[in-house]
């Protein structure tokens, strides 16, 4: 074999090895984070931890029940606000690819996706917290809903664009009106993609802290009133991890672990749904 060919084969082998090593390197940080947080947090999680309120400084034990309930309520409210808007906007964008309005809303959605979360928090503060004279879970939900919106819109749009035009034509040719074409044919055929976008957006906002700092604010007690300040997992982690007390550090580690498990489960669940509900075209 000539030297030139050997040299080319050698280059090819090196390149292949490089691709493999670097793609493995992408996984390493995640594995380290998982191991580290699970090690520190998993021992703190037990029934007592999940069902009790945090204890005042000086008392041992205590749990994060208020943050669990708070996070659930804040995320649920944000979802109720963002999902209908997001899906409808996504439908509009996929059905009217070239209209002026579509162009501008696509642009705005893309920019919105890039707006730092702290800025969205400030906006929610000036829109809701100041006029309503007080921190509230609702204002936090609005901030999170704004963060969810671009993800839901874009994933809905991209899913629906992948559906063949022949599907729409089949529906129109049967005399179906626009709303039925959308609700009975287009959305059901793209449901797995739409849902996975929704779930990923929920996973994305679960850990958001900045927009909640001056909206939901946090609350050491359990509340289900969305017009009142409310605790949430990321806020609890932020406040307790920066405190000087060891007991609070433990709570923060446990909460981090719970947050991580929640996001992990949500991602796995999304994969399952996508596979199960995928419509074979």
Partner 1 sequence: MESTIVKSVNYNAYFGDNHVVKDVNIEIPRNTTIAVMGPSGCGKTTFLRGINRMHELIPGATAKGQILLNGEDVMEMHPIFVRLKIGMVFQRPNPFPNLSIYDNVIAGYKLNGIKLPKAEKDTIVEHSLTRVALWNEVKDSLTKKGSFLSGGQQQRLCIARAVAMEPEVLLFDEPTSALDPISTSTVEELFHELKKNYTLIIVTHNMQQAARVSDRTAFFYMGELVEFDDTKTMFTNPKDIRTQNYITGRFS
Q: Does 180 bind partner 1 (CB under 8 A)?
A: yes
Which residue in the set 137, 171, 212, 236 belongs to the binding site for partner 1 (CB under 8 A)? 171
| Residue among 107 and 279 whose Cβ is closer to partner 1 | 279
| Residue among 157 and 247 whose Cβ is closer to partner 1 | 157
User: Which region among 65-73, 122-130, 175-183, 223-231 touches partner 1 (by CB under 8 A)?
Assistant: 175-183
- Alpha carbon distance 117, 130 (integer Å): 18
Which residue in the set 22, 24, 173, 276 belongs to the binding site for partner 1 (CB under 8 A)? 173
User: Which region among 43-51, 165-173, 207-215, 240-248 touches partner 1 (by CB under 8 A)?
Assistant: 165-173
Q: Does 110 bind partner 1 (CB under 8 A)?
A: no
| Residue among 60 and 98 whose Cβ is closer to partner 1 | 98
Q: Does 92 bind partner 1 (CB under 8 A)?
A: no
User: Least distance (Å) from partner 1 to the CB of residue 277?
Assistant: 10
Which residue in the set 45, 120, 185, 199 belongs to the binding site for partner 1 (CB under 8 A)? 185
Q: Which residues bind partner 1 (CB under 8 A)?
A: 98, 164, 166-177, 180, 184-185, 188-189, 279-281
């Amino acid at each position: 074999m000539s030297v030139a060919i050997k040299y080319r084969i050698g280059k090819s082998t090196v390149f292949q090895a490089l691709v493999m090593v670097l793609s493995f390197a992408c996984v390493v940080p995640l594995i380290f984070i998982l191991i580290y947080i699970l090690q520190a947090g998993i021992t703190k999680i037990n029934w007592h931890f999940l069902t009790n309120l945090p204890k005042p400084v000086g008392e041992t034990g205590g749990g994060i029940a208020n943050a669990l309930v708070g996070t659930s309520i804040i995320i649920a409210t944000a979802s109720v606000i963002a999902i209908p808007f997001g899906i409808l906007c996504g439908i509009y964008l996929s059905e009217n690819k070239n209209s002026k309005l579509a162009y501008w809303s696509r642009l705005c959605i893309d920019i919105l996706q890039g707006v730092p979360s702290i800025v969205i928090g400030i906006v929610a503060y000036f829109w809701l917290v100041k006029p309503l004279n007080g921190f509230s879970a609702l204002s936090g939900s609005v901030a999170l809903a704004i963060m969810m919106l671009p993800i839901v819109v874009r994933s809905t749009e991209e899913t629906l664009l992948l559906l063949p035009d022949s599907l729409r034509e089949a529906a129109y040719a049967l005399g179906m009106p626009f709303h039925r074409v959308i609700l009975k044919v287009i959305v059901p055929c793209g449901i797995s993609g739409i849902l996975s976008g929704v779930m990923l957006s929920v996973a994305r906002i679960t850990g958001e802290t900045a927009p909640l700092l001056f909206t939901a604010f946090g609350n050491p007690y359990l509340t289900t009133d969305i017009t009142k300040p409310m605790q949430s997992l990321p806020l609890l982690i932020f406040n307790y991890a920066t405190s000087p007390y060891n007991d609070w550090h433990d709570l923060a580690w446990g909460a981090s672990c719970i947050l991580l498990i929640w996001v992990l489960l949500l991602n796995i669940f999304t994969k399952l749904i996508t596979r199960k509900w995928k419509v074979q075209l």
